[in-house]
């Protein structure tokens, strides 16, 4: 037993941290905990073909060798716990193991409290094997010797970062982590224990693969940090029947091996099953299985089986409503069925589109997976009613027959939301994997092991595109796959997105220019493929033509004549929508229409400046009236902003829109006559849209949201040039987008457009620089994983300012939904604040005398009357109603 004393006389877990219902000893010896974690890692590895492929994608070592290195380094994840400063965090347990230390001076409680055993493990690995420099005399010019295990650094950095942040060996300060002078008596014993443990691990894991401590490991996978962290979580899952504490020393090396085998076969198998990490994919049965009864594959859906079955980047360009989602999911299913991924992550531009996709995925996931776990990830996911229902079903065995399952473990925190079989999220949550947010590598693992599907890839600005580029690069480096969807892309955007999947030596099979449409482009490091429907013309999307009515109006605002036409159209039974570029503008238009419409015409307003409670109601109302199965028994008018243009399956008979860039314009037009089976009034049997154009040489406040002046101006020129000629799709996707987004300046371009373009380019340059700074910052900085930080680092300062409107009563602060803040516990308060906050432009903050609190919330006290909640500030007033949301009123300047 003496040969075990050096490394076994250390605790790894104590009872005070764990499940009160668990049994076993009062503490868990450190080697046992390390082997528990390795047992989970080994079981996960052995039962996931896709995971093995990801780790072995570089083919720099055999699968058995990489497995050996993976388990060896995972067992070193808590190397920093072989340190007196960690052991004395629970002094009673330490003294039970080392009663002889009772009279020795131990590190202070403050020293122990601030000791980070993760980074400490990295420090000790470097320090323990650091060569001693042999100085020749008082002055020496000898070069320091290379560290004998420098090739191990990337591996040990990854596993010791399992508590949230991967540090680089080069940035570790000796003065911060070296043993205090008063504790030097413990240093030699700790060092000897660490070395003995490493030698035991060589025996357990390296030697069976014909490796030794002198062998050089292959390049580390970018997934290792996340893989080790999740294995640590699961290996610490102490319950009545898993990972019981053990304080008994093994009697032999064979007993230690037996302990590992037992934990692997019993405990690890149970927690992996309960976690929902392992995937059971249904056999691929084609796109047809994902379609509603009575539908057959169409357009690009028929090409799914021609796309190479290999990891890479796939770009799907097709018209709105042509079935891109089913095309992407069918191809993802095929990759899953060929063990090239374990799961699917669907990233969308907004919470509204993510919520809508969750509804669709609940049915589609059942075709792809057996008992799928579906996880929704965005700032308000916990309060999505569908997701809450899924979590409830996942937590109750009697709910297994429900339409899908969401494992309780997976939904317990933001770090875990990417570990289900299907993750539906906003794009922010994916971008965090390359940003300085704690546990970002968990998102990186979830993304890397998945087929990443990104919808509306045209919808992001330069800053977010720069982050998306970094995500795609990491995805391909990890051997993963990405499927990118858009109806509207320029050639420049297309090549940028595809460049992440291919090397300079790629053999490209190109179609004749101009590029056909619709188009599937696929590439990996070896080759590029393009698939189109030119050889199957019967499957080309049918020509769809519509007429654009150009109206020149002041400030792009509808005049009374247009509003009268809208009201008359609704009275005839038409579903009418007007899309505005700004919330303030939409609210003004809504009031104008209400003033001119009779009470028998239903007028609705939909934008992002509502509380979450009211926005969810608005969303459901919009879909119930204008969705695929909407109630069209009478005409209605919807006033909306951009929230309606992306991924929401709604359909209108007449669309009015303010001028916007051509790609956004086409997205908006995709909501016109979208559902062909719908009844329409005779006057709207031919699709027609009205575009509001400026009556002068300036876009005014619309530059706040669309600052690409040249694209705005060119879009206007193309609209005006149409005249009475119809706009024909899908030809317009290439015929308009390519020339409008061309970088070249035109000879007849007005000076005000050129000046606006100069400002735009300066802003874009700043955004690109911000991306580089943010990605560099991520290497050395860590922020907490909360919604405020996620928005801050993914939106380049574009995040909204969250306002909490309230009324002061005798019982305390009363929120808009009637809840009293002072009567809520911490959890209910968090939920109440999420449900009652309203996001407004961040630039408003400077005009308030009130200051944001430590959570970034701005509390505003107001009054409630028949007109809703009212707040009076020095510069403007605010009014909130469930009908209009948060309205800002600026007093007119005195004449």
Long-range contacts (CB closer than 8 Å, 24 or more residues apart) made by 559-562: 560/592, 560/596, 562/656, 562/690
pLDDT for position 836: 92
* 74 vs 852: which has the higher pLDDT: 74
| Residue pair 83/120 in contact by the 8 Å Cβ criterion | yes
Q: Which residues contact 211 (CB under 8 A, 6 or more apart)?
A: 65, 68, 69
Does the pLDDT at position 791 exceed 80? no
pLDDT tier at 485 (50, 70, 90 boundaries)? very high
What is the b/e burial string over 437-455, where b = at least 16 CB atoms within 10 angstroms of the residue's CB?
bbbbbbbbbbbbbbbbbbb
pLDDT tier at 162 (50, 70, 90 boundaries)? confident
Would you give the DSSP letter of residue 252? S
Does the pLDDT at position 497 exceed 50? yes
pLDDT tier at 801 (50, 70, 90 boundaries)? confident
pLDDT for position 560: 94
pLDDT for position 414: 53
Per-residue model confidence as pLDDT tens digits over 292-311: 888 899 999 999 999 999 99
pLDDT for position 393: 45
pLDDT for position 542: 87
Domain with CATH 1.10.3210.30 in the chain: 2-134+147-275
Q: Which fold has domain 544-729?
A: Rossmann fold (3.40.50)
- Average confidence (pLDDT) over 776-795: 57
Residue 518 preceded by cis peptide, ω within 30: yes
* 681 vs 142: which has the higher pLDDT: 681
pLDDT for position 140: 44
pLDDT for position 456: 87
Q: Hey, what's the torsion of the CAs at 750, 753, 759, 763, to 10 degrees? A: -140
pLDDT for position 503: 60
Q: Which fold has domain 303-533?
A: Rossmann fold (3.40.50)
Per-residue model confidence as pLDDT tens digits over 259-271: 999 999 999 999 9
Q: SS3 for 532?
A: strand
Does the pLDDT at position 796 exceed 50? no
Give me the percent of the chain exceeding a pLDDT of 70: 88
* 568 vs 510: which has the higher pLDDT: 568
Angle (CA) 424 430 434, round 5°: 165
Q: Please choose, from the candidates 130, 37, 16, 107, the residue with its C-alpha nearest in 3D space to the C-alpha of residue 79.
A: 37
- For 410, what's the count of Cα atoms within 13 Å in the CB-facing half-sphere? 34
pLDDT for position 417: 63
- Average confidence (pLDDT) over 432-444: 80
Domain with CATH 3.40.50.300 in the chain: 303-533, 544-729
- Rounded Cα distance between 266 and 243, Å, is 9
- Rounded Cα distance between 81 and 84, Å, is 8
Q: Please give the C-alpha separations between residue 354 and each of 357, 469, 552, 794, in angstroms, as whole numbers.
A: 5, 21, 35, 17
What is 2-134+147-275's CATH number? 1.10.3210.30
- Rounded Cα distance between 193 and 291, Å, is 60
- Rounded Cα distance between 313 and 591, Å, is 47
The H or E element that residue 708 is part of is none
Q: Please choose, from the candidates 320, 327, 522, 354, the residue with its C-alpha nearest in 3D space to the C-alpha of residue 422.
A: 354
Q: Please choose, from the candidates 672, 668, 667, 713, the residue with its C-alpha nearest in 3D space to the C-alpha of residue 694.
A: 713
What are the strands, taking DSSP E only, across 663-702? Answer: 688-694
Does the pLDDT at position 505 exceed 80? no
pLDDT for position 139: 41
| Residue pair 303/516 in contact by the 8 Å Cβ criterion | no
Mark residue 323 as left, alpha or beta (left: phi above 0; alpha: psi -120 to 50; beta: remaining).
Answer: left
pLDDT tier at 569 (50, 70, 90 boundaries)? very high
Q: Please give the C-alpha separations between residue 752 and each of 550, 700, 710, 741, 756, in angstroms, as whole numbers.
A: 22, 12, 10, 18, 6
Q: Please state the φ and ψ torsions of residue 330, each to the nearest 5 degrees.
A: -65, -45
Tell how strand 519-523 and strand 313-317 pair up: antiparallel
pLDDT for position 883: 95
| Residue pair 422/374 in contact by the 8 Å Cβ criterion | yes
Per-residue model confidence as pLDDT tens digits over 87-103: 998 988 989 988 888 77
Q: Please state the φ and ψ torsions of residue 860, each to the nearest 5 degrees.
A: -120, 120
pLDDT for position 10: 94
Per-residue model confidence as pLDDT tens digits over 32-77: 999 999 999 999 999 999 999 999 987 789 999 999 999 999 999 9
Task: Tell me the chain's radius of gyration from C-alpha atoms.
Answer: 30
* DSSP-assigned beta bridge partners for residue 864: 869
Q: Please give the C-alpha separations between residue 147 and each of 70, 129, 141, 144, in angstroms, as whole numbers.
A: 21, 7, 18, 9
Per-residue model confidence as pLDDT tens digits over 74-91: 999 999 999 999 999 898
Per-residue model confidence as pLDDT tens digits over 215-232: 999 999 999 999 999 999
* DSSP-assigned beta bridge partners for residue 877: 872, 889
Q: Which residues contact 672 (CB under 8 A, 6 or more apart)?
A: 546, 651, 652, 653, 654, 655, 687, 689
| Residue pair 605/590 in contact by the 8 Å Cβ criterion | yes
Range with lowest mean pLDDT among 55-69, 195-209, 420-434, 564-578: 420-434
In SS3 terms, 191-212 reads as HHHHHHHHHHHHHHHHHHHCCC
- Rounded Cα distance between 60 and 37, Å, is 25
Does the pLDDT at position 321 exceed 80? no
* DSSP-assigned beta bridge partners for residue 869: 864, 880
pLDDT tier at 380 (50, 70, 90 boundaries)? low
Q: How many helices (H) and strands (E) does the chain have?
A: 30, 26
- Average confidence (pLDDT) over 790-814: 76
- Average confidence (pLDDT) over 267-283: 90
Residue 730 preceded by cis peptide, ω within 30: yes
Does the pLDDT at position 375 exceed 60? yes
Does the pLDDT at position 197 exceed 60? yes
pLDDT tier at 780 (50, 70, 90 boundaries)? low
- Rounded Cα distance between 318 and 328, Å, is 11
pLDDT tier at 599 (50, 70, 90 boundaries)? confident
Q: Please choose, from the candidates 609, 602, 585, 591, the residue with its C-alpha nearest in 3D space to the C-alpha of residue 352.
A: 609
Q: Please give the C-alpha separations between residue 553 and each of 285, 560, 563, 696, 756, in angstroms, as whole numbers.
A: 53, 11, 13, 9, 21
pLDDT tier at 319 (50, 70, 90 boundaries)? confident
- Rounded Cα distance between 71 and 39, Å, is 8
- Average confidence (pLDDT) over 115-139: 74
Per-residue model confidence as pLDDT tens digits over 132-155: 544 444 444 455 577 888 899 999
What is the b/e burial string over 823-833, where b = at least 16 CB atoms within 10 angstroms of the residue's CB?
ebeeeeeeebb
* DSSP-assigned beta bridge partners for residue 271: none
Give me the percent of the chain exceeding a pLDDT of 90: 48
Does the pLDDT at position 341 exceed 80? yes
At 224, list the tokens. Answer: 């290792």
- Rounded Cα distance between 665 and 581, Å, is 11
Does the pLDDT at position 119 exceed 60? yes
Q: Which residues contact 671 (CB under 8 A, 6 or more apart)?
A: 320, 577, 644, 645, 648, 650, 651, 652, 655
pLDDT for position 19: 47
pLDDT tier at 357 (50, 70, 90 boundaries)? confident
pLDDT for position 513: 62
Does the pLDDT at position 181 exceed 80? no
At 444, list the tokens. Answer: 């990186």
Q: What is the mean pLDDT of the chain?
A: 85
pLDDT for position 396: 39
Per-residue model confidence as pLDDT tens digits over 623-666: 999 998 889 899 999 999 988 886 678 999 999 999 999 999 99
């Amino acid at each position: 037993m003496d040969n075990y004393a050096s490394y076994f006389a250390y605790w790894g877990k104590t009872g005070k941290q764990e499940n009160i219902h668990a049994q076993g000893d009062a503490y868990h010896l450190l080697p046992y905990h390390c082997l528990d974690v390795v047992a989970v890692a080994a079981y996960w590895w052995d039962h996931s073909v896709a995971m093995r492929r990801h780790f072995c994608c570089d083919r720099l070592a055999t699968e058995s060798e990489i497995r050996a290195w993976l388990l060896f380094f995972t067992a070193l994840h808590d190397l920093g716990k072989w340190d007196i400063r960690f052991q004395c965090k629970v002094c009673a347990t330490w003294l039970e193991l080392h009663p002889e230390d009772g009279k020795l001076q131990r590190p202070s409680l403050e020293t122990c409290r601030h000791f980070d055993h993760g980074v400490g493990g990295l420090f000790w690995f470097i320090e323990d094997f650091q060569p001693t420099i042999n100085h020749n005399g008082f002055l020496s010019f000898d070069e320091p010797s290379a560290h004998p295990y420098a090739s191990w650094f990337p591996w040990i950095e990854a596993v010791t970062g399992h508590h949230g942040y991967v540090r680089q060996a080069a940035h570790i300060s000796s003065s911060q982590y070296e043993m205090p002078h008063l504790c030097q008596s413990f240093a030699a014993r700790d060092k000897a224990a660490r070395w003995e443990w490493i030698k035991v691990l060589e025996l357990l894991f390296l030697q069976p693969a014909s490796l030794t401590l002198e062998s050089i490991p292959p390049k580390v996978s970018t997934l290792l940090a996340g893989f080790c962290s999740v294995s640590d979580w699961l290996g610490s899952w102490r319950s009545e029947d898993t990972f019981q504490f053990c304080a008994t020393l093994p009697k032999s090396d064979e007993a230690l091996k037996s302990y590992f085998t037992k934990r692997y076969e019993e405990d690890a198998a149970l927690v992996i099953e309960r976690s929902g990490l392992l995937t059971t994919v249904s056999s691929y049965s084609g796109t047809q299985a994902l379609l509603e009864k009575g539908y057959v594959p169409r357009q690009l859906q028929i090409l799914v089986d021609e796309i190479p079955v290999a990891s890479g980047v796939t770009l799907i360009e097709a018209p709105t409503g042509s079935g891109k989602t089913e095309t992407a999911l069918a191809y993802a299913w095929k990759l899953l069925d060929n063990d090239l991924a374990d799961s699917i992550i669907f990233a969308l531009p907004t919470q509204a589109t993510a919520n809508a996709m969750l509804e669709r995925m609940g049915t589609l996931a059942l075709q792809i997976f057996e008992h799928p776990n579906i996880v929704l990830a965005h700032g308000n996911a916990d309060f999505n009613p569908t997701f809450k229902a899924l979590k409830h079903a996942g937590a109750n065995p009697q709910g297994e027959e429900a339409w899908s399952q969401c494992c309780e473990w997976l939904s317990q925190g933001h770090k875990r939301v990417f570990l289900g079989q299907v993750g539906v999220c906003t794009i922010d949550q994916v971008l965090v994997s390359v940003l300085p947010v704690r546990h970002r590598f968990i998102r990186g693992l979830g993304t890397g092991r998945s087929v990443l599907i990104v919808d509306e890839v045209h919808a992001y600005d330069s800053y977010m595109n720069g982050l998306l580029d970094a995500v795609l690069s990491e995805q391909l480096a990890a051997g993963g796959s990405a499927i990118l969807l858009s109806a509207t892309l320029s050639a420049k955007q297309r090549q940028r997105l595809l460049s992440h999947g291919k090397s300079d030596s790629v053999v490209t099979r190109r179609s004749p220019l101009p590029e056909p449409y619709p188009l599937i482009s696929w590439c990996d490091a070896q080759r590029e493929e393009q698939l189109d429907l030119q050889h199957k013309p019967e499957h080309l999307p049918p020509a769809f033509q519509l007429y654009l009515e150009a109206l020149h109006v002041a400030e792009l605002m509808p005049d009374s004549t247009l509003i009268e036409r809208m009201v008359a159209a609704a009275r005839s039974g038409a579903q009418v929508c007007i899309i505005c570029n700004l919330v303030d503008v939409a609210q003004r238009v809504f009031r104008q229409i209400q003033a001119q419409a009779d009470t028998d015409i239903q007028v609705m307003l939909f934008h992002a400046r509502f509380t979450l409670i009211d926005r969810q109601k608005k969303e459901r109302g919009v879909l119930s009236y204008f969705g695929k199965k909407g109630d069209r028994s009478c005409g209605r008018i919807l006033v909306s902003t951009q929230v309606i243009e992306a991924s929401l399956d709604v359909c209108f008979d007449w669309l009015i829109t303010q001028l916007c860039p051509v790609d956004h314009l086409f997205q908006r037009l995709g909501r016109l006559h979208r559902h062909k089976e719908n009844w329409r009034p005779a006057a709207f049997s031919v699709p027609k849209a009205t575009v509001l154009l400026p009556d002068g040489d300036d876009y005014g406040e619309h530059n706040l949201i669309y600052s690409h002046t040249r694209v705005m101006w060119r879009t206007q020129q193309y609209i005006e040039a149409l005249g009475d000629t119809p706009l024909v799709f899908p030809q317009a996707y290439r015929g308009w987008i390519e020339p409008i987004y061309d970088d070249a300046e035109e000879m007849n371009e007005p000076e005000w457009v050129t000046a606006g373009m100069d400002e735009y380019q300066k802003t874009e340059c700043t955004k690109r620089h911000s991306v580089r700074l943010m990605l560099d910052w991520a290497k050395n900085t860590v922020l907490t994983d909360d919604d405020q930080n996620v928005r801050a680092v993914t939106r380049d300062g574009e995040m909204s300012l969250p306002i909490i409107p309230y009324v002061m009563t005798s019982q305390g602060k009363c929120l808009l939904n009637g809840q009293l803040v002072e009567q809520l516990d911490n959890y209910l308060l968090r939920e109440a604040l999420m449900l009652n906050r309203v996001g407004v432009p961040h630039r408003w903050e400077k005009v308030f005398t009130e200051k944001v609190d430590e959570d970034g919330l701005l509390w505003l006290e107001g009054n409630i009357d028949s007109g809703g909640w009212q707040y009076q500030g020095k510069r403007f007033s605010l009014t909130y109603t469930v009908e209009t949301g948060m309205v800002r009123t600026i007093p007119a300047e005195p004449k």
